């Protein structure tokens, strides 16, 4: 597969708890069941994507921190973990990643560490989906520098809606300074509960706001307890419960993402 066919996708939102990791794990797994080869990269020291895929961190494992802190000593192909599911691979995180910001502060090319580290492997996949921490740290900048697209989960809640403006400003700044090729793949409303007025109201506002409407996915991810339960069980929801709303929603988001192919509606 030619490397330029690989879709390099950051899942990002500086706001915490909006469903970034759930999207990385569950969308990645949904795509894998649909025959796509998927690499999930966990760039969050909280390592929730790593544990959400049922992978326990142990010390002799090469992880993403090793790749960006000591690039001359490690190869990304040695860090790949094959998960229990076909087509779904992982570059695991490590809690030490939280120190990378300080350690790399005076290092040359520090924004491009991840991009350089994964360059040799990305071409083997249809999708590389990268989880980010809830902050605009050097880790997130590294992800924006290697990605071509940003997928934005937005909780259907007033604070998350208001925070979108700052996120879009950040993405513009990254485009100007670091990665002119970066585009917004879409905004996926998350934690949607049609029974609450505030949820319906925020979804309406997202769909009618000129700044965002062209990016908003038709399928919101509904609140679904199977999503939280599956992450606790270390399994993507598509493998945890085939018929729950969480599985339906992530499969629908995957289908929409294939159709959109990086373009605005
Ligand atoms: N649609 C959903 N319905 C119910 N629970 C959900 C849903 N999406 C995510 N969750 C749960 O909500 C919690 C927060 O989600 P998640 O960890 O994906 O957010 P995050 O944006 O990655 O958080 P952080 O900013 O800390 O990285 C998790 O326990 C997750 O399992
Ligand atoms: Mg997370």
Closest CA to 44 of 97, 117, 112, 101: 97
Residue 18: what pLDDT?
97
The whole-chain average pLDDT of the chain stands at 95
* Span from the CA of 224 to the centroid of ligand 1 (angstroms): 11
pLDDT for res 69: 95
- Residue at token pair 């979804």: 203
Nearest to 136 by CA among 190, 162, 106, 172: 172
b/e per residue 65-95 (b: at least 16 CB within 10 A): bbbbbeeeebebeebbbebebebbbbbbbbe
The per-residue pLDDT for 145 is: 97
How far, in Å, is the centroid of ligand 2 from the Cα of 23? Answer: 9
Atom in ligand 1 nearest the alpha carbon of residue 22: 18
Percent of the chain with pLDDT over 90: 92
How close is the Cα of 49 to the center of ligand 1, in Å? 11
Average pLDDT over residues 159-176: 95
The total of other beta-carbon atoms located within 10 Å of residue 17's CB is 14
CB 134 less than 6 A from any atom of ligand 1: yes
Pocket test for ligand 1, best of 17, 249, 251 (most atoms within 8 A of CB): 17
105 SS3 class: coil
β-pair type (38-42, 127-131):
parallel
As a whole number of angstroms, the distance between CA 97 and CA 43 comes to: 8
pLDDT band at 3 (very low <50, low <70, confident <90, very high): very low
pLDDT digits (tens, 9 = 90+) for 6-62: 999 999 999 999 999 999 999 999 999 999 999 999 999 999 999 999 999 988 899
pLDDT at 59: 87
**Smallest CA separation from ligand 1 atom 28, residue:** 228
Write down the pLDDT at residue 78: 96
Q: Is the pLDDT of residue 194 over 90?
A: yes
Mean pLDDT value across residues 81-96: 97
pLDDT in tens, 105-114: 899 899 999 9
For the CA of 223, the nearest atom of ligand 1: 3
Is the pLDDT at 263 greater than 80, yes or no?
Answer: no
C-alpha 116, offset from chain centre: 19
* Predicted local distance difference test score (pLDDT) of residue 1: 47
Can you give the pTM of this predicted structure? Answer: 0.96
Q: pLDDT digits over 207-245, tens only? A: 999 999 999 999 999 999 999 999 999 999 999 999 999
Ligand 1 within 6 A of CB of 6: no
**pLDDT surpasses 90 at 167:** yes
Ligand nearest to the CA of 193: 1
User: Is there an atom of ligand 1 within 6 Å of 25 CB?
Assistant: no
The pLDDT score that the predictor gives to residue 60 is: 87
The answer to whether 253 and 27 are in contact (CB under 8 A) is yes
Helix axes 158-177, 138-146, angle to 10 degrees: 60
Kindly list the protein residues that place their beta carbon closer than 5 angstroms to ligand 2, a single-atom ion.
20-21, 48
A 10 A CB-CB count for 242 gives: 11
pLDDT range class, residue 101, cuts 50, 70, 90: confident
Q: What percent of the chain has pLDDT over 70?
A: 97
- Between the CA of 98 and the centroid of ligand 2 the distance, in Å, is 14
Residue 94, pLDDT > 50, answer yes
Ligand 2 centroid–CA 44 distance in Å is: 7
The CATH classification of domain 3-260, taken from the options 3.40.50.300, 3.40.50.12160, 3.40.50.1820, 1.20.1600.10: 3.40.50.300
Buried b / exposed e across 52-62, counting CB within 10 Å, b at 16+?
A: bbbbeeeeeeb
User: Mean of the pLDDT values across residues 157-182?
Assistant: 95
**Cα(26)–Cα(30) distance, integer angstroms:** 6
Give 112's DSSP letter.
G
* Residues 221 and 19 sit within 8 Å (Cβ to Cβ): yes
Rounded mean pLDDT, 249-263: 88
* Residue 80 per-residue DSSP state: -
- Ligand 1 closest atom vs CA 192: 1
pLDDT of residue 4: 67
Number of H helices, E strands in the chain: 12, 7
């Amino acid at each position: 597969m030619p490397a330029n066919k690989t879709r390099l996708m950051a899942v990002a939102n500086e706001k915490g708890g909006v469903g970034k990791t759930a999207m990385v794990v569950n969308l990645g797994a949904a795509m894998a069941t649909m025959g796509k080869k998927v690499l999930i990269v966990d760039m969050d020291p909280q390592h929730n994507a790593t544990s959400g895929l049922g992978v326990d961190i142990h010390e002799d494992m090469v992880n993403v921190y090793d790749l960006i802190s000591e690039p001359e000593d490690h190869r990304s192909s040695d860090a790949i973990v094959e998960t229990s599911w076909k087509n779904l691979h992982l570059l695991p995180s490590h809690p030490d990643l939280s120190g990378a910001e300080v350690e790399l502060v005076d290092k040359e090319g520090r924004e491009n560490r991840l991009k350089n580290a994964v360059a040799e492997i990305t071409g083997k996949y249809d999708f590389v989906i990268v989880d980010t921490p809830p902050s605009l740290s050097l880790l997130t900048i590294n992800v924006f520098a290697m990605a071509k697209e940003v997928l934005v989960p937005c909780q259907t809640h007033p604070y998350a809606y208001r925070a979108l403006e700052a996120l879009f400003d950040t993405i513009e700044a990254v485009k100007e300074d670091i990665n002119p090729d970066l585009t917004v793949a879409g905004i996926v409303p998350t934690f949607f509960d049609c029974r609450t007025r505030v949820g319906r109201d925020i979804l309406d506002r997202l769909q009618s706001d000129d700044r965002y409407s062209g990016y908003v996915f038709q399928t919101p991810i509904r609140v679904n307890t199977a999503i939280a339960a599956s992450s606790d069980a270390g399994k993507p929801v598509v493998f945890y419960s085939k018929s729950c709303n969480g599985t339906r929603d992530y499969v629908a988001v995957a289908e929409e993402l294939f159709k959109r192919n990086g373009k605005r509606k």
